[in-house]
Amino acid sequence: MKNIALIIAGGVGSRMHQDIPKQFLNVNDKPIIIYTLEAFQKHPNIDAIEVVCLKGWRDILCAYAKQFGITKLENVVTGGETGLKSIRKGLYDIAKRYQGEDDIVLIHDAIRPMVSQDIISDNIRVCREYGNAITVIPCTAVMLKTMDGLSSMDQVPRDNLKITQTPQTFFLKEILEVHKEAIEKGIDDSVASCSLYVELGRKLYHSIGSEKNIKLTTSEDIEIFTALLSVERPDWLRK
Ligand SMILES: C[C@](O)(CO)[C@H](O)COP(=O)(O)O
């Protein structure tokens, strides 16, 4: 009964307008991806870590992992053309080493370095109890619908909306079957694992996220992350 973290670090980060991919940018002398890996390294119920990495960055990542004591890192594979294909490559590689009926995989964005121990624990709990776990937070803003990108005449009731984050956690055996079904049905452009499940008509279960579990997409997000680190060290760094 293993809990395996699959960290997705295959993106080039074009919205950050930097030469270095965002997951490898340094904040306080530490690459962003290392903050993320440390969260899973420190969690007592995470048994192994696999990373899907950008082509050409594998050796650099392995060197950083050694430097920062990420001993749970078992393998690094190169990403695919899309996020979903990168996830699939990671799952296929994990399946070479893990075949247990009870093994679960926590799929997490490398660029969400503020993931807390509580978020990881709740994902494991919900997945083991209900079969999967999608980290979500409530939608607190008014959501406008637009058809032209400039104006709106409609809104989506926010009470029915949840904002998704990662980790998104599944039984390894089941998510491999879901990917097989998606390939057979020609569904290949889902944005995330949760979208794939929805597109195949499967039910998803929510686990508790946090506003602080931000995805570092733009340079503004890096400023927010740096500010968060200066006022509140993540729970796993405090121990
Ligand atoms: C998986 C995700 O983080 C959930 O909020 C998000 O969908 C990832 O989107 P991206 O386009 O791969 O950054």
- Could you tell me if residue 137 is inside a domain? no
- Could you tell me if residue 149 is inside a domain? no
Tokens of 47: 């048994």
18-69 pLDDT per residue, tens: 678 889 999 999 999 999 999 999 999 999 999 999 988 999 999 999 999 9
**Measured from the CB, is residue 209 less than 6 Å from ligand 1?**
no
3-state DSSP percent of the chain in helix, strand and coil, to 5? 40, 25, 35
Residue whose Cα lies nearest atom 10 of ligand 1: it is 191
DSSP annotation of 145? E
Tokens of 131: 């079969």
Q: For residue 83, give the ligand 1 atom closest to its CA.
A: 12
Distance of CA 73 from the midpoint of ligand 1 (Å): 23
Q: For residue 191, give the ligand 1 atom closest to its CA.
A: 7
Return the residue matching tokens 């926010």: 158
User: 86: domain range?
Assistant: 3-131+165-238
- Could you tell me if residue 138 is inside a domain? no
Return the residue matching tokens 């494991």: 124
Give the burial class of 183: count Cβ atoms within 10 A of its Cβ; 0-12 exposed, 13-18 middle, 19 or more buried.
exposed
Which of 85, 86, 109, 170 maximizes ligand 1 atoms within 8 Å of its Cβ, making it the mutation to test the pocket?
109
Question: ipTM for the complex?
Answer: 0.93
Name the domain count of the chain.
1
- Flag whether the pTM goes above 0.90: yes
Residue 50 bridge partners (DSSP): 6, 75
- Could you tell me if residue 62 is inside a domain? yes
- Could you tell me if residue 140 is inside a domain? no
- Could you tell me if residue 158 is inside a domain? no
- Could you tell me if residue 64 is inside a domain? yes
81-125 pLDDT per residue, tens: 888 999 999 999 999 999 999 999 999 999 999 999 999 999 999
- Could you tell me if residue 146 is inside a domain? no
Distance of CA 191 from the midpoint of ligand 1 (Å): 7
Lowest mean pLDDT among 46-50, 108-112, 133-137, 185-189: 185-189
Q: Does residue 234 have a cis bond before it (omega within 30 degrees)?
A: no
**Measured from the CB, is residue 166 less than 6 Å from ligand 1?**
yes
Question: Is residue 164 within 8 Å of residue 125, measured between CB atoms?
Answer: no
Q: For residue 195, give the ligand 1 atom closest to its CA.
A: 7
CA of residue 202 relative to chain centroid, distance: 20
55-91 pLDDT per residue, tens: 889 999 999 999 999 999 999 999 888 889 999 999 9
Q: Give me the CATH number covering residue 107.
A: 3.90.550.10
Distance of CA 192 from the midpoint of ligand 1 (Å): 6
